[in-house]
Amino acid sequence: MAADTKRTGDTRKGLESRSAGRDGGQRLTALWAGLGVVAGLGAALGGYALLYEPFDVRTERLAVRLLRDKAGLPREGLNILHLSDTHFRGAERREHAKIAQVRRATAGEKIDVLIHTGDFLHKDSGLDNVLALIDSIPKPRLGAFAVSGNHDHVFYNLRRAPLYSWRLFHARESENGAGSGARSTSESAENGIAGLRALLRFGRFLFQNRFDGEPAGVNDIGRLRRQLEERGMQFLDNRSVRLGETGVYLVGIEDLMEGRPDLDRSLERVPDEAPTILLSHNPDIIEAAAAGRADLILAGHTHGGQIVLPLIGPTYTQTKQLSRSEASGYSRRGRTQVYVHRGLGESVPVRFGAPPHVTFIRLLPARPQSGADGAGRNGDRK
């Protein structure tokens, strides 16, 4: 009996061992299967962000009614085609695909005004494709107008962006060191807690849209302007123009980062009572007190964050004055309405949740004594 009991116990242990082995193998198989699913999902999302969404050029239509009763805007309004941030660099396949989509989106449209709010170029090598894009659009009835963006002046080394951003952060820490108790890099290295705090501050610095590529050279903005002006496009850097026989004024401002912006100079010939559209590459112009004179501000620069994440929203929006929810599309500052374009191109060739687009804006006169003025989507009047 003792021997039988021992054999029975050994058999049970053997069965338990084999069962445990099978369970372990199944768990390992399940783990590898899970990792495979995650890797496959990551690859699919990466492929979508790299190979699909950057080419998925959408068409957005928006009706904007003035919030101030000003004479001079035609009763039927103005049809504006707004483009921004093409970022062409001479990547033939990518850029020609976008040009073809813009051609299809604008074919047959009645355009009163074409507006481009800067960053035509990523590098000078993209100029021919910029010209091809403008040539593909129906000629606007009242003209084409633009302001320059930071990339039209300068090209950047984005590979060095983390180190360059750290240097900018450290410079700011050094400037504020006496008042804030900030430590130098060497002191932080000697003190783990101080180093951790510095890293947390750097994280906040980046999260506040302070992730900058290192300037690596200049683009020939003079050539860009000359070539586009030969095609009838006027640059409104720090100047204004009356729009045809209307009473509407377009006002432009040089880029806030790389230009020499002078909004007061831009506005000096604009009557206070005139309907006014302000063109600025960077939407941070809204912080200027004089920007409140504009009825509508058209801007770009943000790319809509370019990558929009669940719960977080747009990642790096490159703006200090707008919230992440205002990084693209329509918003208001008092009686000044703002529209921020997501752009057609990219600084790095990926998009997720922020597809490129062209926008048709129908600008309408104010409706007297109406509380329903503002913007409506897809041509709806309010």
Residue-wise pLDDT for 65-94, tens only, equals 999 999 999 999 999 999 999 999 999 999
Q: Is 213 within the bounds of a domain?
A: no
| Residue 150 domain-assigned (yes or no) | yes
**Could you tell me which of 134, 97, 93 has the C-alpha nearest to residue 114?**
134
| C-alpha 345, offset from chain centre | 9
Q: What is the pLDDT of residue 363?
A: 98
> Binning pLDDT at 50, 70 and 90, where does residue 188 land?
very low
Q: What share of the chain is helix, strand, coil (3-state, %, to 5)?
A: 40, 20, 40
pLDDT digits (tens, 9 = 90+) for 320-333: 889 888 999 999 99
Range of the domain at 177: 159-207
At residue 73's C-alpha, the angle toward residues 70 and 74, to 5°, is 135
CATH of the domain at 347: 3.60.21
Does residue 151 share a domain with residue 68? yes
In a domain, 317, yes or no: yes
* Alpha-carbon span 244 to 242, nearest angstrom: 6
On whether both 139 and 224 belong to a single domain, the answer is: yes
- Res. 287: pLDDT tops 70: yes
Q: Are 363 and 62 in contact (CB under 8 A)?
A: no
pLDDT at site 66: 97
> Mean pLDDT highest for which of 18-22, 297-301, 368-372?
297-301
Report which DSSP code applies to 60: E
Asked whether residue 187 falls in the same domain as residue 226, the answer is: no
Task: State whether the Cα torsion 291-297-299-303 is positive or negative.
Answer: positive
Higher pLDDT, 143 or 182: 143
Asked whether residue 382 is assigned to any structural domain, the reply reads no
Whether residues 190 and 107 fall in one domain? no
Rounded CA-CA distance 217/207 in Å is: 26
Please give the pLDDT value at position 13: 56
What beta strand segments (E) does the chain contain? 58-65, 78-83, 113-116, 144-146, 154-157, 214-218, 233-235, 239-242, 249-252, 276-279, 296-299, 308-309, 313-314, 329-333, 336-340, 357-364, 375-377
> pLDDT of 103-154, one tens digit each?
999 999 999 999 999 999 999 999 999 999 999 999 999 999 999 999 999 9
Q: What's the pLDDT at 178?
A: 42
Domain boundary among 186, 207, 228: 207
Same structural domain, 124 and 168: no
One DSSP character per residue, 232-254 reads TEEE-TTEEEE-TTSS-EEEE--
Close Cβ partners of 106 (under 8 Å, ≥ 6 residues apart):
81, 136, 137, 138, 358
Q: Do 198 and 250 reside in the same domain of the chain?
A: no
User: Is residue 104, in this structure, part of any structural domain at all?
Assistant: yes
Q: What is the pLDDT of residue 382?
A: 42
More confident residue, 20 or 223: 223
Residues 68 and 335: beta-carbon distance below 8 Å:
yes
CA 122 to chain CA mean position, Å: 14
Give the confidence band of 197 by pLDDT, cuts at 50, 70, 90.
confident
Which of 9-23, 49-63, 164-178, 362-376 comes out lowest in average pLDDT?
9-23
pLDDT of residue 158: 73
Residue-wise DSSP of 335-359: TEEEEE---SS-SSS--BS---EEE
Which DSSP letter does residue 230 get? T
As a whole number, mean pLDDT of residues 158-170 equals: 70
Looking at residue 284, its pLDDT comes to: 96
Q: Is residue 212 in a domain? A: no
pLDDT higher at 350 or 7: 350
pLDDT tens digits along 29-61: 655 555 555 455 556 677 889 889 999 999 999
